[in-house]
Structure formats: C-alpha cells, structure tokens
C-alpha cells in the first residue's frame, strides 16, 4: 500500500513525511521519490499481548512516499505527477499560513491533475484508434471499441471537471480504468498544513471538497514538539494555549481515506495486524495472509478483540459462545481476530 504526498514546492510534504515516518527525507534526493513505512497503531495489542505473551508482535504498515514538489507555474507538473501513478492513494498537502494562497492552489492542483490524466487518456485513445484500423480479429475489435468508449467517458469527465468515479462505470470499464492508473481516480485526502500558532482547526473545513477527508495539522509545530522533553513540551503548549495533534488518529484517518482497514490474527507465536480493503470479506482476509489460505478456504473463526480482552482468555470466549464461524463472504469488521481453516 503506497500513499503519495503531493503538493506544490514548500507546502510541507517533506516535513509531513518526517513527522509521519520518523525519517528525514534526503534533500539530495528531492527530485525523486523517497519512501518509508508507517506502522498502523493498534491500541488493543497491549491487552492482547498480556493474554498471549506472543514471541512476536507485528503491525501492518503503509508506505508513505515523499515526492518532488509541483511548480506553481505548472511547467513540468504532468511529468512530476506521472511519478505518482504507481501509488494507491494521495495525500494532498495544502499550506495555509501567511503568504499562502490555498484556494488558488487547490484550483491549480485540480487543473494539474486533469492535464496529467488527459495526457494519458488522449495518448491511449490515439493508440486504440490506430490498432483498430489494422485488420484484427472480431473479438479484439470489440474489445478495442469498449476501451475507446471508456476512454471517451474519462475524457469527457476530465474536461468537464468532474472525473468519472468507479460507480459510474461497468465492471469491465472499471477494470480498464484501473489499468490507466489515473490520479483523479485515486482515493485522496486533504492535509491542511497550518501556521504554528493555529488554534481553530475547524475553520479549515471550508477547503474540503465533497467526499475528500480533511485533516488540519501544523506540521512544523508537531516536529518541534517532538524534539522537546515531555516537561518542556507541556509548558510550551500551556503557555501558547495550543494542543498537540494525535498522530495515531492522523495515521488512522490516512488509512481510512486510502480505502484500507486492518484485521488481526493472534496466538502465542504472533499477534499481528494485516491490511485489507475496507468492506473486504473473510476470503480477502485469508488472501492477505497467504493465497493458499484463500484457495483452500473452509471457514473462518472470528473473535471480537474486545470480547477476548474483556473475558481474558480464548477458553472463556469459547465458553460464552463468542467465537463465530463465518463463511467466505463474511464482511470483516474493525477489531475482528481471525483464525482460518483451510485445506
Ligand atoms: N511562513 C511559514 N512557513 C512555514 C510554516 N510551517 C512550515 N513552513 C515552511 O514551509 C516549508 C515546508 O517545507 P517542506 O516540508 O520541505 O516542503 P515541501 O517542498 O512540500 O517538501 C518549510 O520551509 C517550513 O519552514 C508556517 O507556519 N509559516
Ligand atoms: Mg520536499
């Protein structure tokens, strides 16, 4: 799971990368992509560790990718954005401090994304048309027609400023579009990078676009706070009448915005979280661990972590009939602990 930080130069991407991952990006590599992993916090692991005393605790992680800043004159941005095609979701960093022009920047970014995506779509349309002129088998001809129609839909969506979403497409069209890896169809989150002395984080809601989750953080302040001792930090926050941001909550929001969630497995060997797409099934969960588990899936045994923690042992949970047997199509819930039976 790769999540790209994207925005104009100086918007705070590299600082955000450092705050999230604990690693400082190398300024000498600022023209290319740099990535590091962020572990997804799981507060229930503390209690689960007391129950299982596992040899190992493993957290699922997401890869955060710092990217070269876009240019405000828009030159070369399509190429820079092209580097983000391989990511699964975007965190779009918008600065709101003195001297910044957030509304202008938000409009410019949307334009840049449309230009970058149109380039892909129009190129592909040209190729498809060329191929279709050649003598090709009938079913190939039909496939090219479908692709062309899909591309035309995407083009119209981009040009009207309303990029086509998956739910407006048939399954086959969705499969085709995924192959184009358009930036406008990736899950997106807005990260407002506020001034250090900002106290009213609610005012930033006005920058939100529909369906795009928004988080406001003073990234520079958070980095500064991390370099202080606990007592200095408390005194500083008190004096400035500020409060620190809950980084774990921000990471959870990022995970959620990227369309992913975690589930757990637990035993004496290992207590562990795994990633699956939100609303994934028991079969998806099995596949996340090993393809053999999905292939030979018989059933899943599901325990709610909260039940296990409350009752203190697997035996007690079983005695209360709280271990459920679930089929392939069971939809995974937050806090589910899975045990798979497979052949
Ligand atoms: N004026 C001002 N500058 C800030 C504030 N917060 C961050 N910055 C600056 O914004 C820049 C962000 O840098 P960086 O993370 O490298 O941005 P990137 O180009 O997106 O990677 C740094 O120069 C910070 O000092 C603020 O509240 N006010
Ligand atoms: Mg940078």
User: From the CA of 27, how far away is ligand 2's center (Å)?
Assistant: 7
Residue 284's pLDDT band (boundaries 50, 70, 90)? Answer: very high
Spatial CA neighbour of 144 closest among 124, 120, 163: 124
Q: Which residue has the higher pLDDT, 203 or 321?
A: 321
Q: Is 4 in the pocket of ligand 1 (CB under 6 A)?
A: no
Q: Is 34 in the pocket of ligand 1 (CB under 6 A)?
A: no
DSSP state of 187: -
Q: Mean pLDDT, the chain, as a whole number?
A: 94
User: From the CA of 218, how far away is ligand 1's center (Å)?
Assistant: 10
Spatial CA neighbour of 184 closest among 121, 248, 253: 121
Helix axes 230-240, 219-226, angle to 10 degrees: 140
Residue 25's pLDDT band (boundaries 50, 70, 90)? Answer: very high
Reported pTM: 0.93
Q: Is 12 in the pocket of ligand 1 (CB under 6 A)?
A: yes
User: From the CA of 67, how far away is ligand 2's center (Å)?
Assistant: 7
d(CA 209, CA 50): 43
Q: Is 157 in the pocket of ligand 1 (CB under 6 A)?
A: no
**pLDDT value for 5:** 97
User: From the CA of 147, how far away is ligand 2's center (Å)?
Assistant: 37
**pLDDT value for 184:** 92
Judge contact between 75 and 50, C-beta under 8 A.
no
d(CA 246, CA 41): 11
**pLDDT value for 136:** 83
Judge contact between 40 and 273, C-beta under 8 A.
yes
* pLDDT at 55 > cutoff 90: yes
Q: Among the atoms of ligand 1, which is closest to the Cα of residue 9? A: 19
Domain spanning 279-342, CATH architecture:
Roll (3.10)
Q: Is 14 in the pocket of ligand 1 (CB under 6 A)?
A: yes
Q: Is 7 in the pocket of ligand 1 (CB under 6 A)?
A: yes
63-119: pLDDT as tens digits: 999 999 999 988 899 989 999 999 999 999 999 998 899 999 999 999 999 999 999
Question: Candidates 7, 12, 14, 201: which one to mutate for ligand 1, based on the most atoms within 8 Å of Cβ?
Answer: 12
Q: Is 246 in the pocket of ligand 1 (CB under 6 A)?
A: no
Encoded tokens for 330: 């069971």
- Closest ligand to 7 CA? 1
**pLDDT value for 302:** 98
* pLDDT at 329 > cutoff 80: yes
Residues whose CB falls within 8 Å of the CB of residue 313, separated by 6 or more in sequence, listed in order: 51
* pLDDT at 262 > cutoff 90: yes
* pLDDT at 209 > cutoff 80: no
Q: Is 11 in the pocket of ligand 1 (CB under 6 A)?
A: yes
Any idea where the domains of the chain sit in the sequence? 279-342
Residue 139's pLDDT band (boundaries 50, 70, 90)? Answer: confident
């Amino acid at each position: 799971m790769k999540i790209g930080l994207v925005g104009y130069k100086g918007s705070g991407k590299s600082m955000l990368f450092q705050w999230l991952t604990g690693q400082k990006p190398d300024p000498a590599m600022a023209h290319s992509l740099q990535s590091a992993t962020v572990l997804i916090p799981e507060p229930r692991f503390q209690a689960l560790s007391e129950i299982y005393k596992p040899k190992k605790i493993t957290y699922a992680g997401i890869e955060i990718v710092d990217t070269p800043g876009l240019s405000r004159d828009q030159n070369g941005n399509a190429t820079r954005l092209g580097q983000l095609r391989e990511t699964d979701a975007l965190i779009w960093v918008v600065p709101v401090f003195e001297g910044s022009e957030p509304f202008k920047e938000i409009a410019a970014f949307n334009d840049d994304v449309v230009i970058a995506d149109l380039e892909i779509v129009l190129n592909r349309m040209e190729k498809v048309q060329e191929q279709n002129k050649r003598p090709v088998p009938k079913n190939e001809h039909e496939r090219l027609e479908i692709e062309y129609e899909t591309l035309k839909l995407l083009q119209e969506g981009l040009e009207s400023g309303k990029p086509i979403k998956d739910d407006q497409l048939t399954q086959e069209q969705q499969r085709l579009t995924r192959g184009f890896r358009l930036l406008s169809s990736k899950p997106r989150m807005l990260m407002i990078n506020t001034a250090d002395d900002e106290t009213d984080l609610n005012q930033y809601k006005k920058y939100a676009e529909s369906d795009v989750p928004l988080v406001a953080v003073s990234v520079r302040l958070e980095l500064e706070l991390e370099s202080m001792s606990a007592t200095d930090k408390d005194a500083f926050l008190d004096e400035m009448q500020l409060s620190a941001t809950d980084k774990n909550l921000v990471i959870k929001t990022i995970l959620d915005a990227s369309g992913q969630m975690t589930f757990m497995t637990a035993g004496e060997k290992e207590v562990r979280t795994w990633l699956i797409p939100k609303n994934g099934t028991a079969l998806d969960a099995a596949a996340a661990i090993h393809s053999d588990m999905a292939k030979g899936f018989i059933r899943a045994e599901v325990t709610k972590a909260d039940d296990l923690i409350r009752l203190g042992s697997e035996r007690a949970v079983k005695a209360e009939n709280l271990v459920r047997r679930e089929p392939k199509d069971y939809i995974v819930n937050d806090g589910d602990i899975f045990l798979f039976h497979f052949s």
